[in-house]
Structure 1
Amino acid sequence: MHLHSQNDAPRCATPIGAVSDDGYYTPVAKPRPSPTLFYFPGLTSTPWHDTNNLKWVQRLEANRDVITNEFLTLQKKRHGLAKNSNDYKVYDKEHQLHQGHWDWLSYVTQGRRQADFVLQCPKTVEILESIPDFMAESPFAYSFFSILKPKVVLLSTYFDVNWETDHNFWGFLSSIKAHSAPCNIRLRCHFPLIVPEGCGIRVGDETRHWEEGKAFVFDDSFDHEVWHDGKEGDRVLLLFDLWHPDLVLKERNAVTEMFNDAKEKGWLKDY
């Protein structure tokens, strides 16, 4: 399949995708994109993207309290159900990237919208769907409340520990180790709702710390990692994916069709 720009001029005449042997690898930190599955050439490439001129970011941030309340209501209802309240699934070698406890409450999972989320979080969904570049149909699309538990909560689940005296048990943290996305056709937005002490994220060579109610956008095809080494409190954010703004509609549709077809044929594993 050849992908063309809006004026039908080819972006390149060389292959535009690469697949590693097992679909996953852990790269060393480097200030350039390193997607594990698919690379679309010619796209603007920078770890962090400026949000100052994005009107949808202003609306998102203005609704932080509304979104937080919908999250808390959804979390409470999920915990009251007999089924597992966590949507997060670990595939193949992916578990090697994660230490600690990471929960998802999902709206979009691999390009599929979840109807129960729409019913429980209508305002959050309305805001997301109003974002011009919101990615929802691609197999690489995700949108969910991301809850990273502190290390103390994790350890107290398994050990009878006096946290005032047994400080040696504080040596572990909840983290997602350095990794990169399967593709460079998306950007990822983090909208922090609840941020305790001890949390951070590194993308490329730059480390940042979440601030409640302040969204940022980054290219997750760059090497990145996150952590929560605080003693208490869940780190909660609304995470969602965006189409890379350099991709025109025709290219977005072509990429989506290509990977949906690959998924139907069983050629594409879960990402």
Structure 2
Amino acid sequence: MTAGKVIPRRPFLVRLGKKMRPIFNRAIASGSLVSNAPVLDTANFPWVRALEDSYDHILREYKQLLSGEKNLPSLRKLSPDHARIAPDERWKAFFLYGYGTSVPENCAKTPVTSQLVAGIPGLCNALFSIMEPHGVIPPHNGVTKGMLNCHLGISLPKDNENCWIKISDRKLHWQEGKAFIFDDTYKHTVENNTDDFRAILFLQFERPTRGLGRLAQKIFLGGVRRSAFVKDAKSNIDRWNQIQAELEKN
């Protein structure tokens, strides 16, 4: 598959989403060791404090990354299945980890950040997520309660009031060096209605669970990791890095 090519919605994922996903999500919610609310208390996740305390190091690596990478890829190019929620090229993504697997070339460019996120229990995805001016992520729901999302503000617009994420009925504004955690199965949307870039460290990690909820979580996430959705995204990331390496040689 060529990077950037928009592919049709996969029939298997549609069937899984319509028939099995609610069953898995109910089981995971019943076995959750933390709140099932849209936004969770970060105090229940001790690693968040270490992440916030390391903000200066993360910001420094982000700035170094930008100075060296002239053309960061859009999320829709790396993962065409995300085209519905990434309707244009304004949402950029620089992956450090994808479903628990590191991207060595990218981790080498951000060693401190990569080491920090590697210690997060149940880490699935870690990336610098950059929203260009006037970028929008339309309302949508995540696929599984088996993962939670963490956003750490990195570099934010001066007009903070007009750059936000709305999760269920709560509108949140990112703060530099501060993190929040949320359940993306609740409807959420993002708007950057400013003339500045919004950059965050975007993390997805396994929800702490037990019993049947843990079993349902492992089965569902195992299926996702083996799906074409993930395999194609990993191939596109590798292809992008190979192209960039060739460009740097020339």
Q: TM-score, normalised by structure 2?
A: 0.72
Partner AA of 2:202 in structure 1: L
The SS at the match of 2:166 is strand
What are the equivalent positions in structure 2 for 1:139-150 lying under 5 Å apart? 142-150=125-133
Give me the whole-angstrom Cα distance separating, in 2, the residues matched to 1:207 and 1:267.
30
Determine whether 1:219 maps to 2:205.
no
Kindly indicate whether the alpha-carbon contact (under 8 Å) linking 2:146 and 2:221 is maintained by their aligned counterparts in 1: no
Aligned twin of 2:75 = 88
Aligned twin of 1:235 = 198
Cα pair distance change 1:65/1:177, threshold 3 Å: same
Aligned twin of 2:123 = 134
Partner AA of 2:184 in structure 1: D
Determine whether 1:98 maps to 2:89.
no
Cα pair distance change 1:22/1:176, threshold 3 Å: farther
Aligned twin of 2:3 = none
Cα pair distance change 1:38/1:269, threshold 3 Å: farther
Please state how far the C-alpha of 1:36 moved relative to its aligned partner: 8.4
- Structure with a larger share of its residues in helix: 2
Please state how far the C-alpha of 1:129 moved relative to its aligned partner: 1.3
Aligned twin of 1:188 = 149
Cα pair distance change 1:53/1:268, threshold 3 Å: closer
Give me the whole-angstrom Cα distance separating, in 2, the residues matched to 1:258 and 1:99.
26
Percent identity, aligned pairs only, is 25
Partner AA of 1:71 in structure 2: Y
Aligned twin of 1:203 = 167
Q: TM-score, normalised by structure 1?
A: 0.66
The SS at the match of 1:98 is coil
Give me the whole-angstrom Cα distance separating, in 2, the residues matched to 1:54 and 1:122.
22
Give me the whole-angstrom Cα distance separating, in 2, the residues matched to 1:36 and 1:269.
24
Partner AA of 1:199 in structure 2: C
Kindly indicate whether the alpha-carbon contact (under 8 Å) linking 1:145 and 1:239 is maintained by their aligned counterparts in 2: yes
Aligned twin of 1:156 = none
Root mean square deviation, CA, Å = 3.1
Give me the whole-angstrom Cα distance separating, in 2, the residues matched to 1:134 and 1:102.
22
Greater C-alpha Rg: 1
The SS at the match of 1:52 is helix
Please state how far the C-alpha of 1:87 moved relative to its aligned partner: 5.3
Aligned twin of 1:20 = 14
User: Aligned pairs, how many?
Assistant: 208
Kindly indicate whether the alpha-carbon contact (under 8 Å) linking 2:155 and 2:197 is maintained by their aligned counterparts in 1: yes
Unpaired segments ≥5 residues, structure 1: 1-17, 25-34, 136-141, 151-172
Please state how far the C-alpha of 1:54 moved relative to its aligned partner: 2.8
Aligned twin of 1:115 = 104
Give me the whole-angstrom Cα distance separating, in 1, the residues matched to 2:24 and 2:68.
38
Give me the whole-angstrom Cα distance separating, in 2, the residues matched to 1:123 and 1:47.
30
The SS at the match of 2:112 is helix
Determine whether 1:57 maps to 2:48.
yes
Q: 1:41 aligns with which of 27, 35, 56?
A: 27
Please state how far the C-alpha of 1:227 moved relative to its aligned partner: 0.7
Give me the whole-angstrom Cα distance separating, in 2, the residues matched to 1:193 and 1:267.
28
Kindly indicate whether the alpha-carbon contact (under 8 Å) linking 1:38 and 1:182 is maintained by their aligned counterparts in 2: no
Give me the whole-angstrom Cα distance separating, in 2, the residues matched to 1:53 and 1:110.
22
- Post-superposition CA distance 1:105-138 (Å, at most 9, x none): 1112344321112211111011111122323xxx
- Post-superposition CA distance 1:186-226 (Å, at most 9, x none): 00000011111221001111111111111000001111011
The SS at the match of 2:152 is strand
